[in-house]
């Protein structure tokens, strides 16, 4: 199947694909294909050619800030800019080895609330989460996913960190939105410029897309999903 292709090249492709799975929290080709919005056969084609397509690298940078050189060769840094999107593995930096790690006890807001930072006296915070220092910031809101519509990217029961300072919509990103009659929802937001609307897309294909007019949609954005804590 890989006749004529040096073994070193084959190993590099497999290692690069393993790094993609590691960084995204995906386990199967089906999940990777869904994430990249490609056919599963495209992954088989890429494996046969022993080449990671540039379109994959661009998509993974847009969603996760993943460094293309890290994907291809394992060259550090792993991220260009801050980590974002997807399922992140919590790991203490080696720079602080021997130093007691610092954690922040953060309230976990219910998704049924109108908006995490505008809860009335009837809303009770029943849970807190110890957040490592590198994942904490003053603009952070944490919710616990109460639906399965974003699986397999965000599992039901996952803790989701939302950065309220990142409300500018970038097509393809994961955002928390405050919706009438629904409360807080988390969706992949895609800009449909031709029809002047935003498509609110679930990762779970059994859920239908929602749409809202692009005009005024920014008022509904609570913030961008910046990390996810969940079991894999």
Q: Is the pLDDT of residue 45 over 70?
A: yes
177 lies in some domain? yes
The pLDDT assigned to 224 comes to 94
Do 222 and 166 share a structural domain? yes
Answer whether 36's CB lies under 8 Å from 26's CB.
no
**Angstrom distances, CA of residue 65 to CA of 75, 82, 204:** 14, 7, 23
Q: State the pLDDT at residue 25.
A: 83
Decide which of 220 and 129 is more confident.
220
CATH of residue 29's domain is 1.10.260.40
Q: What is the pLDDT of residue 230?
A: 84
pLDDT value for 118: 47
Other beta carbons within 10 Å of 172 = 15
> Which three-class secondary structure state does DSSP give residue 142?
strand
User: Looking at the 3D structure of the chain, how many domains does it have?
Assistant: 2
Decide if pLDDT at 226 tops 60: yes
pLDDT (tens digit per residue) in 147-171: 999 999 999 999 999 999 999 888 8
Q: How many CB atoms lie within 10 A of CB 76?
A: 9
Domain harbouring 207, CATH code = 2.10.109.10
Which has the higher per-residue pLDDT, 11 or 146?
Answer: 146
Are both 43 and 147 inside the same structural domain? no
Determine, yes or no, domain membership for 79. no
Do 42 and 114 sit in the same domain of this protein? no
100 and 34 within one domain: no
Q: How high is the pLDDT of residue 83? A: 61
pLDDT at 122: 44
- Please name which of 48, 38, 37 lies closest in space to residue 13, comparing C-alpha atoms: 48
Q: Between 34 and 84, name the one with better pLDDT.
A: 34
Kindly state whether residues 200 and 127 are assigned to the same domain. yes
Res 188 pLDDT > 90: yes
112 & 197 share domain: yes
Note whether residue 13 is domain-resident: yes
30 with 106, same domain: the answer is: no
| Residue 101 burial by Cβ neighbours in a 10 Å radius (0-12, 13-18, 19+) | exposed
Residue 45 lies in a domain: yes
Range of the structural domain that residue 52 is part of:
7-73
Within this chain, do residues 99 and 140 fall inside the same structural domain, yes or no? yes
- Three-state secondary-structure class, residue 10: helix
Q: Say what percent of the chain tops pLDDT 90.
A: 30
66 and 116 together in one domain: no
**Residue 1 located in a structural domain:** no
Q: Give the pLDDT score at 183.
A: 86
d(CA 215, CA 57): 31
Same structural domain for residues 215 and 122?
A: yes
Place of tokens 């890989």: 2
- At residue 159, the pLDDT reads 92
Same domain, 133 and 210: yes
Strand partners, 225: 162
Average pLDDT over residues 104-129: 64
Residues contacting residue 53 through CB under 8 Å, at least 6 positions apart: 42, 46
Q: Give the helix/strand (H/E) hosting 223.
A: strand 221-229
- Average pLDDT, rounded, for the chain: 80
| Residue of 147, 182, 170, 179 whose CA lies nearest to 224 | 170
pLDDT at 213: 92
pLDDT for residue 140: 93
**Within a domain: residue 78?**
no
Inside any domain, residue 80: no
> In terms of pTM, does the model score above 0.95?
no
In a shared domain, residues 139 and 63: no
Residue 89 in domain: no
């Amino acid at each position: 199947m890989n006749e004529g292709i040096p073994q070193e090249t084959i190993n590099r492709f497999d290692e690069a694909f393993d790094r993609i799975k590691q960084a995204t929290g995906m386990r199967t080709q089906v999940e990777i294909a869904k994430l990249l919005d490609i056919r599963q056969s495209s992954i088989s084609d890429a494996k046969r050619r022993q080449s990671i397509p540039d379109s994959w690298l661009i998509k993974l940078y847009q969603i996760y800030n993943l460094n293309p050189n890290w994907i291809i060769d394992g060259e550090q840094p792993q991220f260009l800019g801050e980590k974002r999107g997807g399922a992140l593995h919590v790991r203490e930096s080696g720079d602080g080895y021997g130093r007691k790690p610092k954690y922040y006890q953060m309230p976990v807001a219910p998704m049924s609330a109108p908006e995490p930072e505008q809860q009335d006296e009837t809303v009770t915070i029943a849970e807190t989460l110890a957040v490592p220092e590198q994942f904490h910031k003053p603009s952070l809101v944490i919710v616990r996913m109460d639906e399965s519509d974003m699986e397999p990217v965000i599992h039901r029961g996952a803790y989701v960190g939302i950065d309220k300072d990142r409300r500018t919509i970038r097509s393809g990103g994961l955002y928390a939105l405050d919706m009438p009659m629904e409360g807080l929802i988390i969706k992949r937001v895609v800009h449909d410029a031709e029809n002047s609307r935003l498509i609110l897309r679930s990762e779970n294909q059994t859920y239908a897309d929602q749409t809202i007019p692009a005009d005024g949609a920014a008022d509904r954005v609570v913030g961008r999903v910046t990390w996810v804590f969940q079991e894999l």
